Amino acid sequence: MKKTTVRKIPLQDFFRNPEQSAFKISPDGDFISFMAPYKNRMNLYVKQIAQNSEAKRLTSEEDRGIAGYIWINNETLLFLKDFNGDENYHLYGVTVTGEELGDFTPFEGVKVEIINRLSYIDNEILIGLNKRNPQLYDVYRLNVQTSQLDLVAENPGNISTWVADHEGKIRVALTTDGVNTSLLCRATESDPFTTVLTTSFKDKLIPKFFTANNQHLYAISDLGRDKAAVVRINPETGEELEELFSHPEVDITGLTYSKKRKQLTYAYYVTWKQQVHCFEEEDKRILQQIASLLDGEKDYFIISKNKAEDRFLVRTFSDRSSGSYYLYDVKTDSLTHLADLTPWLKEDELAEMKPVSYQSRDGLTIHAYLSLPVGVVPEKLPVVVNPHGGPWHRDTWTCNPEVQFLTNRGYAVLQMNFRGSTGYGKKFVEAAYKEWGKAMQNDITDGVEWLIAEGIADPKRIAIYGASYGGYATLAGLTFTPDLYACGIDYVGVSNLFTFLESIPPYWQPFLEMMYEMVGHPEADKAELHATSPVFHVDKIKVPLFVAQGATDPRVKKAESDQIVQALRDRGVEVSYMVKENEGHGFANQENRFEFYHAMEAFLAEHL
C-alpha cells in the first residue's frame, strides 16, 4: 500500500484549550470579550476595540473553567460556573474593570438557567432557578447592580419553558405532563395563563420571539408537517397564521431576530453542513459582503452583534479548521481578524470529513460522515466507529478534535446519524422509539457492514467508541454483535437502562413519562429493557473494553460504569477503568482530557 508520510501531531495539540474562543461584543460595540486559558482553565477577558489595547483578564478561575457568559450592559458581564462537573451552574458577575460582583445565585444544589437577557433594560435579566423545587424552574428578575432577586412567575408544577415579550414580560409558557405539551398564553403578567393548544411530545412547537407589536409569536413548528418550519402563530388561539420558511429535507433548527429593526433576520438548518436563510435583503447583503471580504472562506456565521447592529462578530469554520474570529464594521465595510482558535493545527495535515450515506436493513437512508487518514489508500484500514451521544442529537460537518486525532494516528472514522438523530424530521426520530439496542444499533452495525463491503475497513480491525448514548452504543455493540469489533471504548455511557431511568437529574423528572415512551417503561417494558441493557449480557462480551467516567456526572451516574466494569472483571474479561473525581458528564479539565486520550491512543494501538 502506497502511503504519504504525515507528521504525527502531538496529542496535546488536538485537546489543549483554544488560544481564544467564545468572542462576544458589548452592547455599545466598544469592547470585545472572549475566553482564553489562565492556569489551564478557560477564563474571561475583555479588550477595547478603538484603542486596540492589551486584553484584560477579568476572572481567575483555577479549579474549573467558566461554562459560558453574556453581556448584561456596557460595563457588566455575567458568567456560569459549576463545581466539579455537577452541572448545578451558578451565575456570577464581573465588570470590564475587573471588579468582582460575586455569586448572584449562591444556593447549594441549585441550577440557574438564563431565560431572557433583557438587553433593552439595563442591569436586569430573567433567570430560572430550581431553588424551591429541584424538578421545577421558577422565574426571577435579577438586578445586577443591587443583587435584588424578585420572583416573577412561580412554576405551578408543569411548566418547562417560559417566553418573555419585548418588554420583558413573561407572556407565554409551555407545560408538559411528560407526554403532552401545552401552549399557555396571557395578555399581561397579572392575568392567569390560558391553555390554547395541546399536542403530543412527538410534535414540536418552539416559541422563539414575539413579533414587534408583541401580538404574535415566531416559532419553529412541525405541527401538521414532518420537517420543522418557521411559522407565525397567534398565541391566544394557537392558530398558525403563516409559514415563513421551510426546507424539504431537514428541520429548521435556529432563528435570529433584530431588536433594532424589529424583524426576523436568519433561519438556520443543517443538511450535511450548516446553512442559512436570510429573511431580508439587508441581511443577505451583509452576509455577501462579509463573504467577499473573507476572500474565499465561504463557511462562516455571525455569532454576536452590538445594539446598533453596525458591528458584527464573525466566525469561520470547516472540517479541517477550528476557525477564526473576525470583526465586521458596517460603517467602514472592513473586516478585522481577531484570533484563530487553534493556530497550531495546519489544514493540510488534517483529514477531510466527507458526507456519505447508506441504507439500513429496513430501508432508511442513514446519513453519515467518513474521515480517512491523510495520504493513505482507503483499503482495509483500521476503523473507529463513533456513534454520537444524545441520542436525540446529530453529528454535523465540523473540525472535530477526536476525529482529527484518530485519523492522524491512522484510523478511519465513521460517524452516523442513526434513527433518532435530530434534524431529519419527526418520522425519523419516532423510528427510534423503544429501539435502544435494536433498530438504532442495527443502523450502526449496517454502517460497519457498508464500510466492509466498500473495502475500506479491515473487518478484523474495527473498534467502537462513543460518549453518553454513544457509550451505551459501544457496550451494545460489544454485547449484541460480539464478532464485529476488536475492542470498545465507553465514555460516560449507560449500561443498565433500569438504573439509568431511576437516576436521572431532578430537573428531568417532568419528562420522565416521555422518556418511558422513547426508551421504555421499567415495568411495562421490563423484558425489552432487560434484553437491551448490556450489563445483563456481559457473558457475550469477549473483546477488550476501556471505560471512562466522571464521578460527579448527574446524567449518567458513576454506577452505570461501575456495574459493567465489575461484571466484566468478575468474568475475567480485560477492562480498563478511568474515573475522574473532579469531572461530570465528560472531561472538561485539560489535564484530564490529555490523560484520557493518551490512554485511548495506547488502547487502540494495542488492540487494532
Catalytic choice (221, 553, 561, 607): 553
The 10 Å CB-count burial string (b at 16+, else e) for 562-585 is: bbbbebbeeeebebebbebebbbb
Give the C-alpha separation, 152 to 144, whole Å. 16
Q: Which residues in 372-411 belong to E strands, given as ranges?
A: 381-385
Give the C-alpha separation, 123 to 52, whole Å. 27
Closest by alpha carbon to 399, among 411, 407, 389, 409? 407
> Where do the H-state alpha helices sit in 228-339?
281-294
At residue 524, the 3 state secondary structure works out as coil
DSSP state of 273: S
Contacts of 54 (CB under 8 A, 6+ apart): 47
Catalytic choice (277, 388, 537, 585): 585
Q: Read off the C-alpha cell for 529.
A: 429493557
**How far does CA 7 lie from the centroid of its chain?**
31
Q: Read off the C-alpha cell for 516.
A: 418511558
Give the C-alpha separation, 204 to 220, whole Å. 7
List the strands of the sheet with 217-221, edge to edge: 205-210, 217-221, 229-233, 240-245
Active site residue 458: no
At residue 358, the 3 state secondary structure works out as strand
Number of C-alpha atoms within 13 angstroms, CB side, residue 99? 7
How many C-beta atoms surround the C-beta of residue 405 within 10 A? 19
Catalytic choice (318, 468, 495, 561): 468
DSSP state of 536: G
Active site residue 585: yes
Report the chain's terminal Cα–Cα distance, integer Å. 18
Q: Read off the C-alpha cell for 489.
A: 471504548
At residue 539, the 3 state secondary structure works out as helix
Active site residue 292: no
Give the C-alpha separation, 508 to 502, whole Å. 11
At residue 448, the 3 state secondary structure works out as helix
Q: Which residues are catalytic?
A: 468, 553, 585
